Amino acid sequence: MTNIDWDNPHHRLALIEQVGATEYSRLLRQHFKNSTVATINGYRIRPIVTRFGTLFQVDGANVAFSTLDQATAHANKLPPAPQGAS
C-alpha cells in the first residue's frame, strides 16, 4: 500500500490494521522523510493537510504555520534539535 493518503485518518487506521504497528511505524517514518521540504536547525518542516488547509509543521516543536517562511523563521529561533530527532 504505497499510495496511502496520510492526511486521512481512516486510511491510516486501515493501513495499521493491514500491516501491523511495526511496519506502520516504519512506513510513517519514511513518509515523514519523503515529505520533508526543509530541515532548519535540525528540525524537519513538512506540509500537513488540516481542516484549516495546508500548514507547515515544525516536527518536534508542536507547532505549524501557514507559510514555509514562517515555519523556517520559527525553527531558526529554536535551540538546535537533539541529534537523531529528525
Looking at the structure, tell me whether residues 73 and 86 fall in a common domain.
yes
pLDDT of 22-78, one tens digit each?
Answer: 999 999 999 999 999 999 999 999 999 988 899 999 998 889 999 999 999 999 999
Supply the DSSP symbol for 36. Answer: -
Nearest-angstrom CA–CA distance, 52 and 60: 20
Looking at the structure, tell me whether residues 67 and 43 fall in a common domain.
yes
Looking at the structure, tell me whether residues 85 and 44 fall in a common domain.
yes
Domain count, the chain: 2
Looking at the structure, tell me whether residues 58 and 84 fall in a common domain.
yes
For residues 4 and 11, the answer to whether their CB atoms sit within 8 Å is yes
How confident is the model at residue 85, as a pLDDT? 58
Looking at the structure, tell me whether residues 18 and 45 fall in a common domain.
no
Show the domain range for 69.
36-86
Looking at the structure, tell me whether residues 18 and 46 fall in a common domain.
no
- Torsion-angle region of residue 64: left (phi > 0), alpha (psi -120 to 50) or beta? beta
How confident is the model at residue 82, as a pLDDT? 83
